[in-house]
Amino acid sequence: MDMETAKLILHGQEHEFPVTVGTEGEEGIDIRKLRATTGAVTLDPGFGNTGSCESGITFINGEEGILRYRGYSIEELTEKSSFLEVAHLLIQGELPTREQLDHFRHRLTYHSLLHEDMKKFFEGFPPSAHPMSVLSTIVASLSAYYPENDDPTDIDLNIVRLLAKIKTIAAFAYKKSIGQPYVYPRNNLTYTGDFLHMMFAVPSEDYEIDPLVEETLDKLLILHADHEQNCSTSTVRMVGSSGASLFAAISAGVSALSGPLHGGANQAVINMLERIRADGGNYRKYLNMAKDRSSGFRLMGFGHRVYKNFDPRARVIKASADQVLARLGVDDPLLDIAKELERAALEDEYFVSRKLYPNVDFYSGILYRAMGIPTNMFTVMFAMGRLPGWIAQWKEMHNDPNTRIYRPRQIYVGARARPYVPIDQRS
Ligand code: SDX
């Protein structure tokens, strides 16, 4: 079949570029020879129309609200799989056999300790340090203890170390912030159970893991595990494309995720709902503020660059919120405010015309709160979930012989050439 092409006419000259078609029929105009043949570059602030790579990891259809990891729907994986199984699927490309999953789980269990000397890094932070800053710092420092090279066996071991240690780093950051002693990993607990134990156990009493909390957290981690070329994943790929180490690339991804327009939104949603509650629950006031650009206020947890119908993850989280809160015996007024806000926004022309719907961050904070996770740890939970996706995307980039260092071009709009002016002649 003849390859489809796209024609561009510039200065009266016609140029033709191949069109590549993805598994699900997505079309991409391949412009890698554009500048060489036309002298021009494209301009696409925020890269909303630009594909940075070809990837076989995650498929999203924003119009139909479809999200699949390696072909499996997020709905099925959340219902039938586990976070460790999904992590294996994303990183290795296939669902593990029982033996592979047991081996994977064993490796993650026995690499969950941090080197004792690393505790000194935590001591350097004030209690007020945001856990995302701590997480980014400690992840970057792993390369000081676990040297990195291009040997596939060493890369594989460092991937295991990252997945195993991120929950220990997260829990230690939390314990440091509240002045409690660190709780060490337990080899007899599940991945999520061990995290909850490290977060909430205290030396003076036994901590009993609530199976519902453990199960709910596992599902939330699955829902956050990957999301194709989002801001933080693109950061991981960009940093990795220079040949920087896996730990350096993931640390950069943690930093990118911390922004309130990205992973930091789940914390911002709760802060917004608390503000509405403190203001007498007057959600319409805030809805109107969000419609007024000059207010600088945005409805956090609403809108998405890709989903223009609904975020399937938000649907799954919202559907489970009522049941989980009821079973935990939690009556959170913020959930009622969130539902009122969503209903009002979805009836409002401003939001409907801009296709602004709740995204993954709108309801996730309600569940984290109900499970007793403090607000400033919400984005750390997002990072824990997203880590397998970042790793899978880094590995795909790292192993692709066609990978080139990320180096976008620009359109220069600054001053023309001009001579230096001595300081006493400047006005
Ligand atoms: C995540 O990319 C990913 O996949 C990310 C993520 C992942 O899994 O990795 O899904 C996770 O980051 C989810 C998004 C979390 N962020 C928020 O909830 C913050 C609030 N949302 C927005 O800031 C915004 O919707 C973004 C950042 C999510 C998307 O930004 P875009 O695509 O650049 O959209 P835009 O800013 O160009 O907005 C288009 C219009 C504008 O109005 P007009 O200029 O046309 O008049 O919609 C308006 C915006 O003002 N708008 C909003 C709004 N989001 C967009 N108005 C009010 N409240 C909002 N939340």
Does the pTM of the predicted model rise above 0.75? Answer: yes
For the cut 80, the answer to whether the pLDDT of residue 87 exceeds it is yes
Which residue from 222, 276, 305 has its CB within 8 A of the most atoms of ligand 1, so it is best to mutate? 305
- Ligand 1 proximal residues by C-beta, below 6 Å: 46, 227, 230, 261-263, 265, 290, 293, 298-306, 354, 356, 359-361
In this prediction, residue 309 carries a pLDDT of 87
In this prediction, residue 1 carries a pLDDT of 59
In this prediction, residue 150 carries a pLDDT of 86
Q: Which atom of ligand 1 is nearest to the CA of 48?
A: 32
**CATH topology (fold) of 5-61:** Rubrerythrin, domain 2 (2.20.28)
Q: What is the rounded distance in angstroms from the CA atom of residue 178 to the CA atom of residue 180?
A: 6
Q: Which atom of ligand 1 is nearest to the CA of 262?
A: 12
Nearest CA to ligand 1 atom 32: 305
Q: What is the rounded distance in angstroms from the CA atom of residue 110 to the CA atom of residue 160?
A: 10
pLDDT tens per residue across span 368-385? 999 999 999 999 999 999
In this prediction, residue 192 carries a pLDDT of 98
Average pLDDT, the chain: 96
pLDDT tens per residue across span 327-373? 999 999 999 999 999 999 999 999 999 999 999 999 999 999 999 99
In this prediction, residue 327 carries a pLDDT of 93
Which residues are part of the catalytic machinery? 304, 361
User: Mean of the pLDDT values across residues 125-132?
Assistant: 96
Query: From the CA of 114, how far away is ligand 1's center (Å)?
Result: 37
| Other C-beta atoms lying within 10 Å of the C-beta of residue 41 | 13
What residue segments make up the domains of the chain, in order of their start? Answer: 5-61
For the cut 80, the answer to whether the pLDDT of residue 229 exceeds it is yes
Nearest CA to ligand 1 atom 42: 354
Whose tokens are 């999520």? That residue is: 192
